Amino acid sequence: MASLKELKNRIKSVKSTQKITKAKQMVAAAKLRRAQAAAEAARPYSQRLAKVMGSLATRVSGDSAPLLLRGTGKAERHLLVVVNTDKGLCGGLNANIVKAAKLQARELIAQGKQVEFYLVGRKGRAPIKRDYAASVKTEYDTSAVRNLGFTEAEAIADDLVTKFEAGQFDVAHLVYPVFKSALAQDPTVVQIMPVPTPEGAAMQAGADAVVEYEPDEETILGELLPRYIRTQLFVALLEREASEQGASMTAMDNATRNAGDLINKLTIQYNRSRQAAITTELIEIIAGAEAL
């Protein structure tokens, strides 16, 4: 059984940990408001851009379509762009993202496809490298960036477009968390290259058949498709930030509660041990007095 001094030191240590987790919870809650607002503000723009792009995509076909739309004509080499966080202490967020990426990789490999990884963020590197070390081709570090913005999304998108145009892969999938609430962040896998035509775009194109574009659709798509990919990555980074703060707030809240429960248990154990020690001393005193 632990001594009274050991129990007292342990209670003091847990209380110090509880103060840290409580502080981190409050910091995450403050950051979550800004991150959630940014993620929610970007969603309508991304959705509207996808609709415009889909309307244009239905008007071009064959060799006249840009490479980012028509693709390489093959689907053998797949690139998984996995967006993880740079910091820990956010529950199972990164584990769920890695799990979704590995599941997608296993499904593609089972179909006879070649799979490579493009890792964004630090926390997803180690678990993916354990199973697919030879398949990790690029690691984009965002840990030094204090406030992620469109600049980082543009750099990643331009790098991916360059690799795609160089023929280094045929299809690219984006794996990232979608913020639902502080308790729920759902890993999502979407194809970003070649750019898929949104569902219902053909029907919408029929309704908008009287629309004429100047310049022509191919020229507009040539400018719009890279911007669409940058926007998708920007939205993914914003969703990552909101998901990270939400998961961190929930994890720190749970840690604070667990620390409180542990403090109560240790306090009870300390009081019992102290009472037992006092009782033993009283018994010894009474026994000594009776012996006299």
Active site residue 39: no
Calpha distance 203→261 (Å, rounded): 58
Calpha distance 149→235 (Å, rounded): 10
> Which has the closest alpha carbon to 39: 246, 240, 188, 239?
239
Range list of β-strands (E), 131-179: 136-140, 171-179
Cis peptide before 187 (omega within 30 of 0): no
Calpha distance 230→52 (Å, rounded): 15
Calpha distance 143→120 (Å, rounded): 10
- The active-site residue out of 50, 65, 90, 247 is 90
Mind telling me the catalytic residues?
90
